[in-house]
Amino acid sequence: MPSFENLRKKLAGRPFEVLAIDVGEEETQVKNFIEQKGLTFPVLLDTDGHVSKLYDVRSHPRTFIVSPEGNLIGIAVGYRKWDSDAMLLLMTKLLEEITDS
């Protein structure tokens, strides 16, 4: 999650946003984690796993990349270092493709 925060900061001013969904944990525990890590993006709660079932999420973490129009353009399963140079380049290219079309 901190690497998402860093990527979000690197892409500030572009049409990019991070939204996290926590599955199955108590609100207090999630709030403490957000505070501890200094996260500034929204973290929603899926306390009963209903949203996970809708999106067929069977393992965590799972990342969905969605265009501004709401179209799914990518899925990543497992941990990634989202603030790496390679991910920054990938996201920058995706944003260029999305905004150019």
Predicted confidence pLDDT, tens digits, the chain (101 residues): 899 999 999 999 998 999 999 999 999 999 999 999 999 999 999 999 999 999 889 889 999 998 888 888 889 999 999 999 999 999 999 988 887 76
pLDDT at 101: 64
**Domain residue ranges of the chain, discontinuous segments joined by +:** 2-96
Pairing mode of beta strands 43-46, 20-23: parallel
Give, in order, the Cα–Cα distances in Å from 3 to each of 41, 62, 81: 12, 14, 6
Secondary element (H or E) of residue 64: strand 62-66
- CATH dotted code for 2-96: 3.40.30.10
